[in-house]
Amino acid sequence: MLTDGTTVLLRAPRRDDLEQMLRFANRLVREKRKNASLGILMDKRFSRKEEEKFLTGVLAGIRRNDVVNVTAEVNGKIVGNTDLRRQRHNDVLHLGRLGIIVLKEYRRKGLGTLLMETALERAESLGIKLVTLEVYASNEAALGLYTSMGFREFGRLPGGIRQGTSKIDLVYMFRQA
């Protein structure tokens, strides 16, 4: 349940989520185009084919226990998603990289926290020990969420993000799963 009383279903993605996932992803692209300071990279519309390829990869990763993906659904609509990927090589199989997105009208209601808690619990059960992520230094919402979830900065890439003439640091964070 979100802080405004909305009931949300947290679950793994399914093959028949394709249309909803496409809509979700392209909503974020539209938001990014209107607001360049939104701290996400996605800036090109996804075609159905691209989204299908992405979803197929996610479902295969879940079957191999290399991907944790949690989808948040409200009244049949996807409103949030977190994706945590195990790294591929033997020496780093204990490392996972996390990304998270919540639709604008569902932000600041505790959904990001619920998604992260669910993904981190699952990651731990798969033997992922350390979770890393990257965040724009200007992304106060994400920095707030990550800090509240116990993530700590371990470095930053000065000017890792460029938007026109402005340069933004890319902050690297980690926490134990």
Which positions touch ligand COA (CB under 6 A)?
38-40, 100-102, 107-113, 135, 139-142, 144-145, 148
Least separation, in Å, of the C-beta of 166 and ligand COA?
Answer: 17
Residue 164 Cβ, how far from ligand COA at the closest point, in Å? 19
CB of 78 to ligand COA, least distance (A): 13
Minimum CB distance to ligand COA smaller for 55 or for 111 = 111
Name the residue nearer to ligand COA (CB basis): 28 or 128.
28
The closest alpha carbon to 66, from 38, 33, 92, belongs to 92
Please give the Cα distance from 149 to 87 (Å, whole number). Answer: 21
We find the least distance from the C-beta atom of residue 168 to ligand COA, in angstroms, to be: 12
Alpha helices in 35-164 (DSSP H): 48-63, 111-125, 140-148
Q: For the stretch 156-171, what's the b/e string if a residue is b when 16 or more beta carbons lie within 10 angstroms of its beta carbon?
A: eeeeebeeeeeebbeb
Q: Which is nearer to ligand COA, 35 or 75 (CB)?
A: 35
CA distances for 82 relative to 59, 79, 112, angstroms: 14, 11, 8
Helical (H) or strand (E) element with 26:
helix 18-34
Is the CB of 127 or the CB of 159 nearer to ligand COA? 159
Nearest position to ligand COA, beta carbon: 112
